[in-house]
C-alpha cells in the first residue's frame, strides 16, 4: 500500500478512502492515473475532494519523494506544455547544456498546459526523486506552486513567471513596448493585438506592455481589438479573422504575441486579399528560425530562448544551495523585417 508519513501517522490510500467513504481503488485511479482514466473513475466533484484531502493529509504516491529534501540524485526534472513547441525545445537545449556543465542530468515531461496533467507529471517527477524542478508551464492562477512551496520542493519557473516565485524569463513587458514604439514610428494608429492565452504570463505581459505603451503614446485600442487566442497558427488565424470581422475599418497593423500566431494571422490576411506588410503590418514574438525564412519575412521580438533555459538551471542550483533567488528577466531585441517595415 502506498503511503506517506504525516507527522506521527502514516497516511495510506485506505485512510483517504475511509475518510471520504469511497473505495480505495477509486482513490488510487484518481491520484495515480492519467487525466482520461481519472475522469472516468469518479465525478469531477469527487475527484476534487480526493485530491484536496490528499494534499491536506500530505499524501504522496511515492514515499521516497521525501528524499527530494534530504538526498541528491543530481537529476533535474523539467515540465513544459509541449516539447514540440520550437521555443520550448530551444529552452530545453539550454537547460540540458547548463545542467551537464554542473554535473546534473535532466529529463522532461509534457503537461499539454492541462492543470490535471501538470499535477500528475509533477508527482511523477517527485517520485523519481529529482533534486528540483524547472517548471515551464506555470499558470498565473494555479495553487500547485503554493503546494510545492509548502512541501519545501525546490523549483524555479522558466519562460512564464508568477509573482512571488523565482523565474527565468524574457522581459516580455519590454518586448511589447518595443513593438508599440516600432508601429507608432511607422505611422500606424489603428492597431490590434492577438494576445495569446490569458493564463500565461507571456501573453499577459506582452499584451500589457504593448497596450500600455500605445496608450502612453496617445493611441487608442478598443476592447474588441485585443483578442485572446491559442498560441498556435490555428489560434492566430482564428483571432485575426475575429479582428477583421469586428473591427471596421480593419487595423493597419497587428501584433501577435508569438510567431506561430503571427503566421496564422498572415494566412488570414492573405485569404482576404490583404497584403502583409503593405495593407497590414504584422509583428510576432520570439524570433524563431521560421520568422526570417517566410516568403514575407516576419518582424519579431527576439527572445533569448537558449539563455532563458541556461539561466533557469543556474537559478535552480542556487535554490538547491539554500540561496534566496530573485526573478531574472532577460532583454529582448526587436528584429524588423518586411512584414512591418
For the cut 60, the answer to whether the pLDDT of residue 204 exceeds it is yes
Q: Give residue-wise pLDDT tens across range 279-305.
A: 999 999 999 999 999 999 999 999 999
For the cut 50, the answer to whether the pLDDT of residue 1 exceeds it is no
Contacts of 252 (CB under 8 A, 6+ apart): 188, 189, 190, 191, 279, 280, 281
Residues 271 and 211 occupy one common structural domain: yes
DSSP for 271-337, written as a single string = HTTPPBTTTBEEEEEE--HHHHHSSSPPEEEEP-HHHHHHHHHHHHHHHHTT-----EEEPPEEE--
Residue 38 lies in a domain: yes
Say whether the peptide bond before residue 202 is cis (omega within 30 degrees of 0).
no
For position 23, what pLDDT does the model report? Answer: 85
CATH number at residue 196: 3.40.50.2300
For the cut 60, the answer to whether the pLDDT of residue 34 exceeds it is no
For position 24, what pLDDT does the model report? Answer: 81
Determine the structural domain holding residue 91 and report its residue range: 65-169+306-330
Residues 186 and 104 occupy one common structural domain: no
Residue 154 lies in a domain: yes
For the cut 50, the answer to whether the pLDDT of residue 205 exceeds it is yes
Q: Which region holds residue 335: left if phi is over 0, alpha if psi is between -120 and 50, else beta?
A: beta
Q: Give residue-wise pLDDT tens across range 160-179.
A: 999 999 999 999 999 999 99
For position 44, what pLDDT does the model report? Answer: 83
Residue 31 lies in a domain: yes
Q: What value does the mean pLDDT take over residues 6-35? A: 74
Residue 72 — pLDDT band, cuts 50, 70, 90? confident
For position 71, what pLDDT does the model report? Answer: 67
Residues 285 and 185 occupy one common structural domain: yes
Domain count, the chain: 3
Residues 278 and 311 occupy one common structural domain: no
Q: Distance between CA atoms of 266 and 233, rounded to whole angstroms?
A: 9
Q: Give residue-wise pLDDT tens across range 269-286.
A: 999 999 999 999 999 999
Residues 195 and 254 occupy one common structural domain: yes
Residues 142 and 182 occupy one common structural domain: no
Residues 139 and 237 occupy one common structural domain: no
For the cut 90, the answer to whether the pLDDT of residue 28 exceeds it is no
Residue 337 lies in a domain: no
Residues 46 and 139 occupy one common structural domain: no
Q: Copy the grid coordinates of residue 302.
A: 527576439
Contact indicator for 31, 46 with CB cutoff of 8 Å: no
For position 200, what pLDDT does the model report? Answer: 96
Q: What value does the mean pLDDT take over residues 26-40? A: 63
Residue 245 lies in a domain: yes
Q: Percentage of the chain with pLDDT > 70?
A: 90
For position 61, what pLDDT does the model report? Answer: 59
For the cut 50, the answer to whether the pLDDT of residue 4 exceeds it is no
Q: Distance between CA atoms of 109 and 90, rounded to whole angstroms?
A: 15
Residue 339 lies in a domain: no
For position 33, what pLDDT does the model report? Answer: 55
For position 101, what pLDDT does the model report? Answer: 95
Backbone angles phi, psi at 192, to 5 degrees: -145, 165
Residues 183 and 298 occupy one common structural domain: yes
Residues 109 and 179 occupy one common structural domain: no
Residue 336 lies in a domain: no
| Pairing mode of beta strands 167-170, 155-158 | parallel
Q: Distance between CA atoms of 249 and 34, rounded to whole angstroms?
A: 47
Residue 340 lies in a domain: no
Beta bridge partners of 167: 157
Residues 186 and 269 occupy one common structural domain: yes
For the cut 50, the answer to whether the pLDDT of residue 67 exceeds it is no
For the cut 70, the answer to whether the pLDDT of residue 150 exceeds it is yes
For position 63, what pLDDT does the model report? Answer: 42
Q: What value does the mean pLDDT take over residues 316-340? A: 97
Q: Distance between CA atoms of 114 and 25, rounded to whole angstroms?
A: 24
Q: In this structure, what DSSP letter does residue 65 have?
A: G
Residue 77 — pLDDT band, cuts 50, 70, 90? very high
Between helix 201-216 and helix 172-185 the angle, nearest 10°, is: 40
Mean of the per-residue pLDDT values of the chain = 90
Please give the residue that has the higher pLDDT: either 50 or 109: 109
Q: Give residue-wise pLDDT tens across range 115-141.
A: 899 999 999 999 999 999 999 999 998
Residues 209 and 196 occupy one common structural domain: yes
List Cα–Cα distances, 308 to 150, 254, 268, 277, in angstroms: 26, 26, 32, 30
Amino acid at each position: 500500500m502506498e503511503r506517506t508519513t504525516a507527522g506521527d501517522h502514516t497516511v495510506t490510500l485506505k485512510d483517504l478512502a475511509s475518510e471520504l467513504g469511497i473505495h480505495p481503488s477509486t482513490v488510487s485511479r484518481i491520484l495515480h492515473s492519467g487525466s482520461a482514466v481519472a475522469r472516468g473513475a469518479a465525478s469531477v466533484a469527487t475527484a476534487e475532494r480526493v485530491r484536496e484531502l490528499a494534499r491536506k493529509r500530505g499524501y504522496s504516491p511515492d514515499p521516497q519523494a521525501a528524499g527530494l529534501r534530504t538526498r541528491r540524485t543530481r537529476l533535474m526534472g523539467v515540465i513544459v506544455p509541449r516539447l514540440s513547441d520550437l521555443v520550448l525545445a530551444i529552452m530545453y537545449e539550454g537547460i540540458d547544456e547548463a545542467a551537464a556543465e554542473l554535473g546534473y542530468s535532466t529529463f522532461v515531461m509534457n503537461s499539454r498546459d492541462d492543470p490535471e496533467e501538470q499535477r500528475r507529471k509533477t508527482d511523477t517527477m517527485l517520485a523519481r526523486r529529482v533534486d528540483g524542478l524547472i517548471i515551464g508551464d506555470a499558470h498565473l492562477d494555479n495553487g500547485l506552486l503554493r503546494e510545492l512551496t509548502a512541501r519545501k520542493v525546490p523549483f524555479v519557473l522558466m519562460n512564464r513567471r508568477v509573482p512571488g516565485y523565482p523565474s527565468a524569463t524574457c522581459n516580455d513587458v519590454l518586448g511589447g513596448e518595443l513593438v508599440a514604439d516600432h508601429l507608432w514610428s511607422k505611422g500606424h494608429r489603428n492597431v490590434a493585438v492577438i494576445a495569446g492565452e490569458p493564463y500565461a504570463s507571456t501573453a499577459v505581459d506582452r499584451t500589457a506592455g504593448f497596450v500600455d505603451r500605445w496608450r502612453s503614446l496617445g493611441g487608442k485600442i478598443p476592447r474588441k481589438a485585443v483578442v485572446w487566442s491559442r498560441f498556435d497558427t490555428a489560434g492566430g488565424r482564428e483571432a485575426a479573422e475575429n479582428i477583421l470581422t469586428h473591427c471596421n475599418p480593419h487595423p493597419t497593423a497587428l501584433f501577435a504575441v508569438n510567431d506561430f500566431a503571427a503566421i496564422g494571422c498572415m494566412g488570414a490576411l492573405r485569404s482576404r486579399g490583404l497584403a502583409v506588410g503593405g495593407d497590414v503590418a504584422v509583428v510576432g514574438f520570439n524570433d524563431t528560425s521560421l520568422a526570417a525564412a517566410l516568403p514575407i519575412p516576419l518582424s519579431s521580438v527576439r527572445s533569448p530562448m537558449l539563455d532563458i533555459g541556461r539561466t533557469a538551471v543556474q537559478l535552480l542550483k542556487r535554490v538547491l544551495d539554500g540561496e534566496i533567488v530573485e526573478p531574472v528577466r532577460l532583454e529582448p531585441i526587436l528584429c524588423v523585417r518586411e512584414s512591418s517595415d
